Structure 1
Amino acid sequence: MGSAPSSASQRSGGSALRDALRVRSRRPRSTLEACPEAGQPCAGAGTGRSSEVVRVAHSDPGRGVDERAASMLEALFTQSPVGLHLLDTDLRVVRVNTGAPGMRGRRWEDLRGRRARDVYEPLEDDVDVLLRKVLDTGAPLLRRIIRARVPGDPPQERQVRHFEVSALRLESPSGSVLGVAVTAVDVTERERARSRTLVLDAVRRHVGRTLDPVVTGEELVGAVVPAFADVAIVEVVDAVLRGDEPPPAPLPTGTPLMRTAFRGARDRLPQAHPVGDVRRLPAPTPYTQALTDLRPRVVPLRADAPWLSVDAPRAAAIRSSRAHSLLVVPLALRDAALGIVSLYRTEDAAPFDEDDRELAVELAAHTALCIDNARRYTREHTIAATVQRQLLPRRPETHASLETAYLSVTGAEPGAWYDTIPLSSARTALVVGRVSGRGLNAAATMGQLRTAVRSLSAFDLAPDELLARLHDTASQLAAERERLPQGDPLRREPLEADCVFAVHDPLTGRCAMAAAGHLAPLVVCPDRAVTVPPTLAGPRLGATEGTPFAAVDVEVPDGSVLVFTSDPLVTSYLAGSPELLPPAGDFRERPLQELCDALVYALPEGLGAGDAAVIVARTRSFPADRIAVWPLDCEPAAVALARRRARAQLEAWGVDEETASNTELIVSELVTNAVRYGSPPLELRLIHDRTLTCEVRDAGAAAPHLRHAATADEGGRGLFITAQLSRAWGTRFTPPGKTLWTEQALPDHPPP
């Protein structure tokens, strides 16, 4: 089996191989000879006989073994549906049978002596290399699938078919190599069915992995080209991409469609329109007809087709790509038109048939369902994002001592929120949070919690106490959700949220903060030292278990930058990569919005601020000439002294007469109340910021409350008068006592 070809095996014309066809019996005179009959056409031409005839000669008519062997060979070469080829050592055709795929419309003389690669024009595999390996090594080639061009119908038209090829080396009894025997079975339909199954499986596995209708189209064309089509195009109704309901069929004339995906088997295939183009389809064409009755169409692409003149750019692209078969499939769901898929085959590819059309319908049905799911998500996300934008503040509250900016939250979770809340005494609260869940429900819950935070902040609560009360509110909302009907999907979604609440006091240069969950701010000092305050993570809002909330107080020097984010990954990345932050000078002087952009640029792809709600704040020292503080004795004479000092300071600040008079009265009432009901020491403080703040501190723990005095009462109207003259008032408890404060609007700073 492994011997090299002998000199006898090199004889031209296949004589050595014909000698090998003699079947010798045990008696030396019995032979089977294969003799050519020149001029006789093959069975493929309609004669029913091959171009060679096997003749049997027996020395003993009583033996039938050789006769049966000869009959078997004759049957194989005249009746077998399996294509048989005998090749000599030069890989030239010596004999073929009637079932050979290359015999359609050919005579024997057309094939004899020709190389196999010239007869069958293989497309991928080098047949000569494969057969030469069999000839040299003796290792058989078994069931190799080869694509080749063969005569079609009519024979002069070549068509591409799939063949399962096996090859065996032929040897003489002495061991010399005579040639190769090759069998070829046409398995085109089997391979097409297998290819269709693989394409359907690929589409089901890879199409619809995202909730983006554009990406869904790209996934589809990637799955079908080149396995099923040479060119694939997806066009989707433009309104569907924005989340609107798809229009019912027939699709109204002039409905704009966007080309979302294009792919060709060859590079630089011409396109009638670029991806992303939105246009109305000219009519009537197979595309518009498919969108009218929602039925697929297999269309032969002939140059004289009248509909090609309706859409000149597409006709030019079809001609340039040499496409000859079109399969148009509507993307439809529940009798509504979402778009259309156009599949083309070019050059030697077989035209689309009925089986291809059935497969395309399945592919389009799966894709349409994925696009509709993406549309529903887009619609819900659009509504949720709209609700979120309406619930979030448009502009941050900014004091002279704290400059704040919000980062773009395009694409942020609908449950993420941020807020800056002005507090008394020139303080500012900074809040960032994130509600679990997605969609409209998360946005609505976020709005409830944000409103609760703003309401609670009006009571001047410490950060840890405010979060404790916010936790109670979230727990109540969670309990209400658990009482929803059994079938409501919202009932199965836990209501939990993360939140960080901080209060910046410019008069002390410190910031008190507390956290629910694992959110923490980032503090960048003027020297670029980056720290994450050691806030003790309390329980998530709405969680059933957890430790009590705890506040931490940190120093924030003038020029420091605070970064609050609803995504802890952003904080962790910036804290671990301080070298990516802008230079130290930029933190103090650079416009804050530019600084925000620089922070975003420092984040790696996939961890951007677009996935989080972010506040960036820069601290400034409070102007010393805008604050006045006086200690007071706890005696009635302190009231008149406080009024005089307040009047003098307001005149120095240039406050208008009406505001100064009202402030005198407020100071009088607050100091009187502290002298009568408070405990020493007493202190009066005026703060000139966007508002005029008046504070009176004492060490007493009793809090005053507003009451409406009766007509005959001689007192009890002081706090009522104070409330009428001020824009806001309240009580703030700080160890070792309390502060009663009021705020008045200044003409230069009207109320927001």
Structure 2
Amino acid sequence: MHDPEYHADSKFPLGQGDDMYAVLDARGVLMGLSPSAETLLGYEATEIRGWRGTDLLHTSTDASMLRQRWRSGTETPETMVYLGSAVLRHRSGRGIAVVLRACPIASTSDDAQWLIQALHPETAQRDELSEALLRGLFTESPFLIDVFDRQSRFIAQNYIQQRAGVFSGKNFAGLTMAEVAPPGLLDTAALEARQRRVLETGEALLHTEVRGRTPDDPDREHVWSESILPLYGRSGEVIALAHTVADVTEQVRARERLALANEASVRIGTSLDVLQTAREFVEVAVPEFADYAYVNLLDPVFGGEEPGAGPAGAGVPLRRAASAGVPGGPGEDLVPTGRVDPFASSLESLFSQALTSGDPQLLTGAELIEALEPVDPRRAALVRTYGVHSWLLIPMSARGRALGAAVFARFQRAHGFETDDVPLAQDIVARAAVCIDNARRYTRERATALELQRSLLPQQLPALRAVEATSCYVPASGQTRLGSAWFDVIPLSGARVALVVGDAAGHGLQAAVTMGRLRTAVQTLADLDLPPDEMLAHLDGQARTFHDDEGEQSTGRTAGTTCLYAVFDPVSRQCVLARAGHPPPALISRAGKVELLDVPDGPPLGHGGPPFECREVTLTDGDLLVLCSDALVKTTGHSTNTGLVRLRETLSGCQHLLAEPHEGESGLEAVCEAVISRRPTTHSQDDAALLVARVHGLDTDRYATWELPSEPEAVSKARTLAAHKLAEWGLDNLAFTTELVVSELVTNAIRYSSPPIRMRLIRDRSLICEVSDGSSTSPHIRHALETDEGGRGLYLVAKLTQVWGTRYHARGKTIWAEQPLSGLPEGDGALMALESEDIEAL
């Protein structure tokens, strides 16, 4: 009947939207066609009524396939049956490709009838996609989908929504979310506000995070990602709203954990202080992770010492380092910072278990109370009072060494710690442990460095009659470990005193070593009794020698070193000063006037250049000299003059402190504190040295000076003058020794030097005998031969006195010798101190 050579025609004779129907009875006989079907096939309904439906198929193969699909589809007659693609035979014999589907219809005769629909293939494809989309969204989609009208009332819900949570087995069509949702679980007012916004603007609101609770898990906060989409009608107006909601609680919690870990890496470890680092840690944990948190550290960690390798033993003391809590929690920590935590240090405590095993401990409130009750009943009572329901202990270690433990507690938030929270807590505790260990190591190294620094500075200033001095040294802060400022008070011959403040260039160990070398050089050169300008010239040479010793790579390390050197003579009350690139000293007169002494400034040490110059000032008893390092006057962005003006203002405000000092104090300490407190913050990383000295001249009854003629008879006169003065001072026990010293020194001056010859006795902490002459020839001590008639003078002086020396001045030299005021017994006792050959020489 059918020509096998016919082929389907690609041209479809009707529009894609036309309805083409045929009605078949239960036997598959045609009962009628729609007008569109008549046009499609080229037949009128009356012509083919009574034909079998398969007679209109192009080939017998199509008929066989159609019968098979028909039989399988009619087993469920309540649904539309897709018969699939087929080729219909046009009256002309050409084929027409269509997609067929069948649907059962009711009839008056109660016989089964079928409505067969022929669809354009593209139309069928679109219909299939539409049905798949609706099925996917409303039947198979994992998302919750709601459709609301313009009054925010439910129109439809997808299948998963109808069977989930509060919507299980219920139909809420015509109701709003406020009427559906249980009280307190969702913020329905905020939801309706978002719906109004989309209705008014016509713009979709995507991925809004909504927080709330569900009836089956009311204690845990959930997070949903909500999108509200406007649905437009044919007129272009928004006629409804589609909601899609996905539970993103786990994703949000994972994101929050990651954010907390990132925040911990940024906020923890901003300083190299152990306690500050511990505070930063607990401040990160509260309130983002816990309602209350604290850190306990082992004893060695507090002092910057190295803790033992491996896990800590049971019962080791743990001290509170830091704690933090949310408002409404404990007002103050039960264990103050630095105190031993009795619960954490008990032998059988959870801390001991965690530190020994290295494993975290996660407890409920009841378990925590059970552990606390025998050890710390007061804390157990607080756990009950605040309703702590979740408690997490994480041991803290770094580089394989236990440092302590961190504790987190929750009592305000309803949900306790989960197993997923433990790795997060371990992560931030590990970050904190590394930072605390770095701070501990820094503390130890800095303490060692500062100890070295202090060992290079005077441990105690000498108690002198001419100068009453107080010093203050402030170590460098920040990352700088060692500074290079120093000060010194050096007793000189003739009851004079040298005051020194210096600052080596640079920072660190090498700068501290340079400072120590320079300070040693100053002390050595001071023994030579050089004037301040010559002292700095020699020191400049020493600084340049350091360059040669350390090689070219250290060039410039000492260049820039500054120094201020002053010598005060209590007899003449003259103070001679010189400086090398150093800030000038300040003088607070006894009357309260403050001035900066105009001391000629020389180049910094190590640079070389023009010679240094001195400035000589006359001081009055009670005057104060203030010598400070650069860090106390230099300010970033400002000239040194600005700092000097501030220093002068500070000292002007100290007059009342000097006029009315505290009991047992001289007022010098208060001056130091005032100057240090106004130290420029921009130079806080530099160490600072400050020396405040109150000068006192010697009273005229404590020294005597005589001019002697350059003749042998002056020796006898000098002995007589010395003996009379010692008797006046009550030092008769020193008369014999002093006469021998005077005799030798005056004899040498007359014999080997030139006038004028001057003798001076000074009664200070010791008895000082000085003989000055006009010659710069330096005497030398030597051992005389038995045949020599002289040459034993200075040797005898060295034997009979405590110390002796020579100092030079513009018009000659002075040879001096000191004896302790206790001295030796007069006469034979003094001879006993000499050897036999010395006695023979006498």
Same fold? TM cut 0.5:
yes
Secondary structure at the aligned position of 1:706 is classed as coil
Match of 1:615 among 686, 691, 704: 691
Deviation, structure 1 residue 272: 4.2
Code of the residue aligned with 2:789 in structure 1: it is: E
Pair 1:330 & 2:395 matched: yes
- Contact 2:329–2:386 (Cα < 8 Å) also in 1: no
The match for 2:816 is 741
Deviation, structure 1 residue 705: 1.3
Match of 2:264 among 196, 200, 203: 203
- Structure 1: which 5+ runs fail to align? 1-24, 29-56, 485-490
Code of the residue aligned with 1:433 in structure 2: it is: G
- Counterpart mapping for 1:592-607 below 5 A: 593-601=666-674, 603-604=676-677, 607=680
Deviation, structure 1 residue 507: 2.9
- Counterpart mapping for 1:537-576 below 5 A: 543=606, 545-547=607-609, 550-555=612-617, 557-558=619-620, 559-570=622-633, 573=643, 575-576=645-646
Pair 1:632 & 2:714 matched: no
Deviation, structure 1 residue 595: 3.5
The match for 1:292 is 356
- Counterpart mapping for 1:88-127 below 5 A: 88-89=149-150, 91=152, 93-98=154-159, 103-104=164-165, 106-107=167-168, 109=170, 112-115=175-178, 121=185, 126-127=190-191
Pair 1:214 & 2:275 matched: yes
- Counterparts of 1:110 and 1:526, CA distance in 2: 99
Match of 1:193 among 241, 251, 254: 254
- Contact 1:401–1:622 (Cα < 8 Å) also in 2: yes
Question: Taking structure 1 as reference, are residues 363 and 436 closer, same or farther at Cα in structure 2, changes over 3 Å only?
Answer: farther
Match of 2:214 among 147, 150, 156: 150
The match for 1:357 is 422
Deviation, structure 1 residue 441: 6.7
- 678-687 or 512-521, larger mean C-alpha shift: 512-521
Deviation, structure 1 residue 291: 0.6
- 246-255 or 665-674, larger mean C-alpha shift: 246-255
Secondary structure at the aligned position of 1:266 is classed as coil
Deviation, structure 1 residue 642: 2.5
Secondary structure at the aligned position of 1:200 is classed as helix
- Counterparts of 2:517 and 2:565, CA distance in 1: 16
The match for 2:574 is 510
Deviation, structure 1 residue 635: 2.4
- Counterparts of 1:442 and 1:395, CA distance in 2: 22
- Contact 2:582–2:630 (Cα < 8 Å) also in 1: no
Question: Taking structure 1 as reference, are residues 97 and 300 closer, same or farther at Cα in structure 2, changes over 3 Å only?
Answer: farther
Superposed CA deviations along residues 35-67 of structure 1, whole A, max 9, x for unmatched, are xxxxxxxxxxxxxxxxxxxxxx99998576678
- 557-566 or 264-273, larger mean C-alpha shift: 264-273
- Contact 1:297–1:329 (Cα < 8 Å) also in 2: yes
Code of the residue aligned with 1:454 in structure 2: it is: Q
Question: Taking structure 1 as reference, are residues 128 and 344 closer, same or farther at Cα in structure 2, changes over 3 Å only?
Answer: farther
Deviation, structure 1 residue 340: 1.1
- Contact 2:470–2:668 (Cα < 8 Å) also in 1: no
Pair 1:396 & 2:461 matched: yes
The match for 1:35 is none
- Contact 2:483–2:687 (Cα < 8 Å) also in 1: no
Code of the residue aligned with 1:562 in structure 2: it is: L
Pair 1:693 & 2:768 matched: yes
Deviation, structure 1 residue 739: 1.4
Q: Give the fraction of aligned pairs with identical amino acids, expressed as a percent.
A: 36
- Compute the RMSD of aligned alpha carbons: 4.0
- Contact 2:540–2:608 (Cα < 8 Å) also in 1: no
Superposed CA deviations along residues 608-641 of structure 1, whole A, max 9, x for unmatched, are 9995332211123331232322222222233233
Q: Which has the larger radius of gyration?
A: 2
Code of the residue aligned with 2:336 in structure 1: it is: P
- Contact 2:574–2:616 (Cα < 8 Å) also in 1: yes
Pair 1:459 & 2:528 matched: yes
- Contact 2:154–2:176 (Cα < 8 Å) also in 1: yes
Pair 1:276 & 2:338 matched: yes
Question: Taking structure 1 as reference, are residues 473 and 180 closer, same or farther at Cα in structure 2, changes over 3 Å only?
Answer: same
Deviation, structure 1 residue 699: 1.8
TM-score, structure 2 as length reference: 0.72
Superposed CA deviations along residues 624-678 of structure 1, whole A, max 9, x for unmatched, are 2323222222222332333333333333333x21213322222222222111221
Pair 1:706 & 2:781 matched: yes
Task: Answer 1 or 2: higher relative contact order, Cα 8 Å, separation at least 6.
Answer: 1
- Contact 1:240–1:375 (Cα < 8 Å) also in 2: yes
- Counterparts of 2:304 and 2:162, CA distance in 1: 54
- Contact 1:237–1:339 (Cα < 8 Å) also in 2: yes
- 75-84 or 207-216, larger mean C-alpha shift: 75-84
Secondary structure at the aligned position of 2:796 is classed as helix
- Counterparts of 1:110 and 1:325, CA distance in 2: 39
- Counterparts of 1:647 and 1:637, CA distance in 2: 16
Question: Taking structure 1 as reference, are residues 176 and 409 closer, same or farther at Cα in structure 2, changes over 3 Å only?
Answer: closer
Code of the residue aligned with 1:674 in structure 2: it is: A
The match for 1:16 is none
TM-score, structure 1 as length reference: 0.80
Deviation, structure 1 residue 210: 1.6
The match for 2:243 is 182
- 88-97 or 679-688, larger mean C-alpha shift: 88-97
Deviation, structure 1 residue 600: 1.5
- Counterparts of 2:186 and 2:603, CA distance in 1: 70
Secondary structure at the aligned position of 1:133 is classed as helix
Question: Taking structure 1 as reference, are residues 718 and 223 closer, same or farther at Cα in structure 2, changes over 3 Å only?
Answer: same
- Counterparts of 1:745 and 1:414, CA distance in 2: 38
Deviation, structure 1 residue 445: 5.6
The match for 1:420 is 489
- Counterparts of 2:368 and 2:167, CA distance in 1: 32
- Counterparts of 1:628 and 1:411, CA distance in 2: 48
- Counterparts of 2:253 and 2:754, CA distance in 1: 95
Question: Taking structure 1 as reference, are residues 101 and 623 closer, same or farther at Cα in structure 2, changes over 3 Å only?
Answer: farther
The match for 1:488 is none
Secondary structure at the aligned position of 2:137 is classed as helix
The match for 1:652 is 728
The match for 1:11 is none
| Number of residue-to-residue matches in the alignment | 685
- Counterparts of 2:320 and 2:116, CA distance in 1: 80
Secondary structure at the aligned position of 2:353 is classed as helix
Code of the residue aligned with 1:453 in structure 2: it is: V
Secondary structure at the aligned position of 1:209 is classed as coil
- 140-149 or 592-601, larger mean C-alpha shift: 592-601
Deviation, structure 1 residue 480: 5.3
- 553-562 or 237-246, larger mean C-alpha shift: 553-562
Code of the residue aligned with 2:751 in structure 1: it is: R
Secondary structure at the aligned position of 1:295 is classed as coil
- Counterparts of 1:222 and 1:493, CA distance in 2: 45
- Counterparts of 2:424 and 2:716, CA distance in 1: 94
Superposed CA deviations along residues 704-751 of structure 1, whole A, max 9, x for unmatched, are 1111111111111111122222222111111122111122221399xx
The match for 2:61 is none
Code of the residue aligned with 2:296 in structure 1: it is: E
- Structure 2: which 5+ runs fail to align? 1-15, 20-104, 106-114, 635-639, 825-842
- 681-690 or 113-122, larger mean C-alpha shift: 113-122
Question: Taking structure 1 as reference, are residues 405 and 349 closer, same or farther at Cα in structure 2, changes over 3 Å only?
Answer: same
The match for 2:31 is none
- 96-105 or 294-303, larger mean C-alpha shift: 96-105
The match for 1:429 is 498
Code of the residue aligned with 1:121 in structure 2: it is: L
Code of the residue aligned with 1:401 in structure 2: it is: A
